[in-house]
Amino acid sequence: MAHPSQLGFQDAASPVMEELLHFHDHALMIVFLISTLVLYIIVAMVSTKLTNKYILDSQEIEIIWTILPAVILILIALPSLRILYLMDEINDPHVTIKAMGHQWYWSYEYTDYEDLSFDSYMIPTQDLSPGQFRLLEADHRMVVPVESPIRILVSAEDVLHSWAVPSLGVKMDAVPGRLNQTAFITSRPGVYYGQCSEICGANHSFMPIVVEAVPLKCFENWSSLMLEDASL
């Protein structure tokens, strides 16, 4: 959960998000070193009147500043490609959930069950209980078992939406007439918040996403209760 004046990312709640955080730190350190070197060169050029005649026409320096950027780009590209392939892999999901974007709410369908689906609307500010978050709470949470591969099928009913939960490292566009898929594994029990990340109209800010990760036994009990309510 983000907090006021936070500068970094939210705490990782999935293995993919942990990899993304490590890659961010890796790339940021490279950018920091490059910026330091460039700043030093600028200060040195401005503050001295001396000229080194060997730097004005040097094959060795030209070779270095041609090869070095290429090596740096490779050091950035290889971890990036690795994470891209990790994010694209979906291995034997335990639960498949279809998330459908509407103006302006989400509907969820657990496709492994015969009749388990519900709509998820934002809780208005005046109806919030103490401790709940404004513009982030939903009347029905998407409940998933912890430490289990979850596949999300994302689409939209009307306009473009985007299903995004930052702490899980998940963001997938919801396009009408197209079925996109992504996957995640929650590392620990908890409640994770997200929002629609594609401008979709007047109430774009009012369609939150709430994912609740619970132990498998609790998930089975919850699904049984939902199925009983649907049959009534």
pLDDT at residue 2, rounded to an integer: 79
Per-residue model confidence as pLDDT tens digits over 102-144: 999 999 999 988 889 999 999 999 999 998 999 999 999 999 9
The 8-class DSSP code of residue 145 comes to E
Is the Cα torsion angle 213, 216, 222, 228 positive or negative in sign? positive
pLDDT at residue 135, rounded to an integer: 92
pLDDT at residue 53, rounded to an integer: 72
What is the β-pairing status of strands 105-110 and 117-120?
antiparallel
Mean pLDDT of all residues in 65-80: 93
Measured from the Cβ of residue 14, the count of other Cβ atoms closer than 10 Å reads 22
d(CA 151, CA 220) in angstroms, rounded, equals 17
| pLDDT over 70 percentage in the chain | 99
Nearest to 30 by CA among 62, 69, 84, 82: 69
Mean pLDDT of all residues in 186-190: 94
Query: Is 3.40.50.2300 the CATH number for 95-231?
Result: no
The 8-class DSSP code of residue 33 comes to H
